[in-house]
Amino acid sequence: MDNDDSRRMLDPGGDPAALKALTHPLRLRLLGLLRQHGPATASELAATTGESSASTSYHLRVLAKHAFVQEAEHRDGRERRWKAVHSVTSWSNEAVMALPGGEETLGFFRRRQLEHLGNSLERHQADIASARLGREWHETSGIDDLMPRLTPESVGELWETVRSKIAELTDRDRDRPGTEHVVLVVAALPLAGGGPAAPGPDEPDTGTPEPGPVPAPAPGPAGEGRR
């Protein structure tokens, strides 16, 4: 599910309940697991998340009600298997901000993406240390933080360029050996005031990337888009 047909664009004003359905942490995690690992039962997802089967089953039904997941082919007919309907969910930030509590809703999704980034960094470091990832991944992994001066139009163009390139490379590598799941996270956060202040003692020195090439970012933990 990596082509444009698998991207769902929500209408926050016309169907706010669908957006609200994603603001539960467990639902967001279940959707992300189905997107990353493929179809699973409520029991399998319960074992992965540490939740009860009753809880995962309930939240899967909520996701199905709003067309984020649907029943997949059953292996033995004894328990429902679920699959994600789309690989990415997008929305208009302006439309979300127009809703009551819209700012808090956007903040929730962004915090979840940051949590996902932190968890992914820990797993990546463990995979490197245990040699589960080969040395060929050492130079291409990394985190970069930059602070260019751009217009809103240029930032929008940047989003579309990144998405297009990710889709192109994903399609090219679909059947190639040596692929791994790669966590790509992009953030574009304009700061008012004309320019950044000097970094404090606990702040990163922006504009100083890690050595080596850095992969282009993409949507977050459950493939949640920003526009």
3-state secondary structure 151-184: CHHHHHHHHHHHHHHHHHHHHHCCCCCCCCCCCC
Helix (H) or strand (E) holding 42: helix 42-49
CA distances 52 to 64, 125, 129, 205, Å, are 18, 30, 33, 43
Give pTM, 2 decimals.
Answer: 0.72
Domain residue limits at 23: 4-90
Give the tens place of pLDDT for each residue, 39-88. 999 999 999 999 999 999 999 999 999 999 999 987 666 789 999 999 88
Distance CA 222, CA 213 (A): 25
Chain centre distance of CA 16? 20
Distance CA 197, CA 110 (A): 23
Number of domains making up the chain = 1
| Any domain includes 71 | yes
209: confidence class by pLDDT, cuts 50, 70, 90: very low
Of the candidates 207, 216, 213, the residue with the CA atom closest to the CA atom of residue 145: 207
| Any domain includes 128 | no
Contacts 24+ apart (CB under 8 A), 94-97: 95/11, 95/12, 95/13, 96/12, 96/19
CA dihedral 11, 190, 118, 19 (to 10 degrees): -10
CB atoms within 10 A of CB 72: 16
Give the tens place of pLDDT for each residue, 152-204. 999 999 999 999 999 999 999 999 999 999 999 999 999 998 655 545 445 44
| Any domain includes 157 | no
pLDDT of residue 213: 32
Distance CA 27, CA 62 (A): 8
| Any domain includes 31 | yes
227: confidence class by pLDDT, cuts 50, 70, 90: very low
DSSP 135: G
| Any domain includes 84 | yes
215: confidence class by pLDDT, cuts 50, 70, 90: very low
CATH number, residue 17? 1.10.10.10
Of the candidates 134, 178, 186, the residue with the CA atom closest to the CA atom of residue 159: 186
Of the candidates 32, 21, 29, the residue with the CA atom closest to the CA atom of residue 62: 21
| Any domain includes 79 | yes
Distance CA 90, CA 18 (A): 12
| Any domain includes 73 | yes
φ and ψ at 3, to 5 degrees?
A: -95, 175
pLDDT of residue 40: 96
